[in-house]
Amino acid sequence: MRPFYVTTPIYYVNDKPHIGHAYSTVAADVLARYAKLRGRPTRFLTGTDEHGQKIEEKAKELGKDPQAFVDVMSPPFRDAFVELGCDFDDYIRTTEPRHEEKVQELWKILFAKGDIYLGDYEGWYSVADESFITETELKALDEVTRSKVVRVKEPSYFFKLSAYGDALLEFYEQNPTFVQPEGRFNEVKAFVKEGLRDLSVSRTSFTWGIPVPGDDAHVMFVWFDALTNYMSALGGPAKEGEAPLYDRFWPHGGSDDAQVVHIVGKDILRFHAVFWPAFLLAAGLQPPTQVFAHGWLTINGEKMSKRFGNFIPPGPLVEAFGADVVRYYLMREVGFGQDGDFAHKQVFARYHGELGNGLGNLLQRIVASILKNEFGGAVPAPTEIGDEERELVAVAEKSAAVAAHHLDLVAPHRALDAIFELVAAANRYVDRTAPWALAKAGDKERLATVCYHVLESLRWLSVMLAPFLPSKTADLRAQLGVSALTPEEAMDQWPKAGDFGGLPAGTLTAPAAPLFPRFDPKTEAEILEKLGANKPAEAAKPAKKEKKVEEKKDAPKAEAPKTDDKSEASAPIAFDDFVKVDLRVGLILEAEAVPKSDKLVRCQIDLGEEKPRQVLAGIRKHYDPEALVGKRVVVVANLAPRKMMGLESHGMILAASDTDHGLSVLGLEKEITPGTRVS
Ligand code: MSP
């Protein structure tokens, strides 16, 4: 089986772990657990990035020695990930000698090849991003980051990045899924095609870094140091036979090469998709197989920031919901690769709906009552199998195959969609076959078949959901009376077509407490309060804000659903349901700011009716009212009227927003007549 090596970014230790860090690490853990279940030799790496100016400055600010500072700051990351049920095989710290040695080795290889040379750097450096930036990039920065940018003029070693543009483009061509999602890959290619400049890879104005071999006045640029962690953790670069993990888990150009997937946030894609493969190609080493860039999470619709008071550490969430529920929510709520929102209330919704009513109930309905009363708790042998059973088995087989396909493609949210098809089908099967009625009627034979099919579906689910819910699925298996999963190499435990029926009749189940007990409304409210999730968004707003944040936080929720992240998770609706929403082309005739509101604009819109309609839209932060006049927009025309700031609104203007662009109302390319139906 092809070895699988998955990594997370290594986290800066200038601050504490938050839910964004948890996101990358949980995703990598899900992929690693899945690969292990498929019987693949698997390695999962995470760790901390401990050098650089940002960390040196923070340590200084606190009056601490940088090493003592990072020694205190790194363990909370490890602990947070363990608490989240992440089962990593290695945790690397860039201040470890095993890492420093290998980074220097890679440097020496590049230096010996003439790809690193000494020069002078003059330009801007963003300490917040630990990144050299151009004049154009400087202008595009938000106020806060810009205020931290410094002018640098110092001797510096450069990496000949400019010489590797063609090699990179060729590599991309040969590896069409090197960067995912595809849209991000296009951005990377466009960046490289524009032409690359040599990259400054050392600094002399501070000392907290790995010394440049043979020139102690320089420390390495923190990204050169950090990116190499993926290789140093395996003991590479190394000659064949010197480092078994490196031999096994890093690609070397052979047909049975390991598959290496770097999970990263979209903000650090360029480092991973341009600089890192360029260093490796230059050194004559094989780049990783794939860099997967995930999106950014907002919290209850707001950008996460300490200044907003919504900087969410994972610990209290785990305490409130349990690690599995947090993991499940993170993987389920947001399409992996897209931006999304972490909304506390939505965690409860998914908990009660999908986990409690969907999965937990299925177990409860059969094991806790019928099986105990009718079969003494032992799994009965199925008797005659009919269409209903065949249908359920077909759903199970499809669900396992589709979920595996999506996990192979790093689409955990889609895998969960597929897995929950089986949860839904099994619940429907119970509803249709009505086992309680069979029990009442004394039809033990049919009841045996029904119970068996539900229990076997649950056993399949206990495997397929194990990467997401490792602890709950262990409880589920214990209740089913089957042994715990022990992911072992060369043992493919993922269910497949033909496997249905693997649960031995006679297995003694062990009913226990519900897997997902309900939170009563009072407890739910208390938890939300404790987690600070009830804070009105206004309270969390900073006095002075960054441009993007301003765009994001003012996005009116009803008018700008985050379609980019939610669309994939929503259940399909019938066409008949869709047509109930009366969407019309509207022409904005008048628009004025609503006094005393910093959000609302009052619009008079021609919808082809006798009189223009008054519609209030929360878009003032994104549009000058005057600029809206004459625009054609899409309006939900049959929305019940609602009052805002004492004014009635008779409809809703559709808009979309994302972190990168802010909010945009939906427009039309042609001058379609006002009132025309949109379908
Ligand atoms: N140290 C570098 C990575 C070096 S990898 C060789 C770094 N560290 S970081 O701590 O600032 O960020 C680590 C990861 O957390 C990034 O992938 C970043 O995208 C992710 N996130 C930080 N905030 C986030 C959200 N709000 N949402 C999702 N992920 C976010 O960059």
More confident of the two residues 73 and 662: 73
Burial class (CB in 10 A: 0-12, 13-18, 19+), 441: exposed
Structure tokens at 637: 């025309």
Angle at 92 between CA 87 and CA 94, to 5 degrees: 160
pLDDT of residue 489: 66
Q: Which atom of ligand 1 is nearest to the CA of 266?
A: 19
DSSP conformation class of 258: P
Residue having the nearest C-alpha atom to atom 29 of ligand 1: 20
**Fold (topology level) of 344-480:** Isoleucyl-tRNA Synthetase; Domain 1 (1.10.730)
- Element containing residue 408 per DSSP (H, E): helix 387-408
pLDDT digits (tens, 9 = 90+) for 534-576: 764 443 444 333 333 222 222 222 233 333 333 334 567 666 6
Helix (H, G, I), strand (E, B) or coil at 369: helix
Grade residue 130 by pLDDT with cuts at 50, 70 and 90: confident
Which CATH homologous superfamily contains domain 4-303?
HUPs (3.40.50.620)
Strands 655-658 and 642-644: unpaired
pLDDT of residue 344: 92
Distance CA 120, CA 117 (A): 10
Distance CA 20, CA 12 (A): 12
Distance CA 123, CA 134 (A): 7
Q: Which residue has the tokens 């640029």?
A: 221
Contacts 24+ apart (CB under 8 A), 305-312: 305/542, 305/549, 306/15, 307/542, 308/540, 308/541, 308/542, 308/549, 309/532, 309/535, 309/539, 309/540, 310/532, 310/535, 310/540, 311/18, 312/18, 312/19, 312/342
pLDDT digits (tens, 9 = 90+) for 45-84: 999 999 999 999 999 999 999 999 999 999 999 999 999 9
The pTM for the full model equals 0.80
Residue boundaries of the structural domains of the chain: 4-303, 344-480, 542-561+568-665
Q: Which residues form the pocket of ligand 1, taking CB atoms under 6 Å from any ligand atom?
A: 9-12, 20-21, 23-24, 49, 226-227, 229, 264-265, 267-268, 296-297, 304
Centre of ligand 1 to C-alpha 311, Å, is 14
Q: What is the mean pLDDT of the segment spanning 259-270?
A: 97
pLDDT digits (tens, 9 = 90+) for 336-345: 999 999 999 9
Q: What is the mean pLDDT of the segment spanning 184-212?
A: 96
Residue having the nearest C-alpha atom to atom 17 of ligand 1: 265
pLDDT digits (tens, 9 = 90+) for 135-169: 888 888 887 777 778 888 999 999 999 999 999 99
Q: What is the mean pLDDT of the segment spanning 345-352?
A: 94
pLDDT of residue 570: 57
Q: Mutate which of 14, 15, 19, 23 to test ligand 1's pocket (most atoms within 8 Å of Cβ)? A: 23
Angle at 365 between CA 363 and CA 369, to 5 degrees: 110
Contacts of 573 (CB under 8 A, 6+ apart): none
Centre of ligand 1 to C-alpha 18, Å, is 10
Burial class (CB in 10 A: 0-12, 13-18, 19+), 637: buried
Q: Which atom of ligand 1 is nearest to the CA of 303?
A: 26
Contacts of 660 (CB under 8 A, 6+ apart): 548
**With the CA atoms of 42, 48, 51 and 55 taken in that order, what torsion angle do they form, in degrees rounded to the nearest 10?**
160
Residue 467 has pLDDT above 80, yes or no: yes
Distance CA 125, CA 134 (A): 9
pLDDT of residue 539: 39
Question: What percent of the chain has a predicted confidence (pLDDT) above 90?
Answer: 74
Contact 398, 392 (CB under 8 A): no
Centre of ligand 1 to C-alpha 22, Å, is 10
pLDDT of residue 490: 63
Q: Mutate which of 268, 275, 298, 312 to test ligand 1's pocket (most atoms within 8 Å of Cβ)? A: 268
Cis peptide before 181 (omega within 30 of 0): yes
pLDDT digits (tens, 9 = 90+) for 283-319: 999 999 999 999 999 998 888 876 666 788 999 999 9
DSSP conformation class of 619: -
- Polymer length in residues for the chain: 679
Whole-number CA gyration radius for the chain: 28
- Element containing residue 215 per DSSP (H, E): strand 215-220
pLDDT digits (tens, 9 = 90+) for 21-51: 999 999 999 999 999 999 999 999 999 999 9
Output the CA–CA distances (angstroms, integers) from residue 539 to 303, 535, 620, in the order listed. Answer: 14, 7, 19
Q: What is the mean pLDDT of the segment spanning 424-439?
A: 96
Centre of ligand 1 to C-alpha 295, Å, is 10
Q: Which atom of ligand 1 is nearest to the CA of 271?
A: 6
Residue 324 has pLDDT above 60, yes or no: yes
Residue 116 has pLDDT above 60, yes or no: yes
Whole-number mean pLDDT of the chain? 90
Centre of ligand 1 to C-alpha 182, Å, is 20
Q: Which of 28, 34, 94 is nearest to 67 (CA)?
A: 94
Cis peptide before 237 (omega within 30 of 0): yes
Ranges of H-type helices in 546-631 = 547-553, 563-566, 575-578, 625-628
Helix (H, G, I), strand (E, B) or coil at 474: helix
Q: Which of 584, 593, 644 is nearest to 613 (CA)?
A: 584
Classify domain 542-561+568-665 at the CATH class level: mainly beta
- Element containing residue 123 per DSSP (H, E): strand 116-126
Q: Which atom of ligand 1 is nearest to the CA of 226?
A: 6
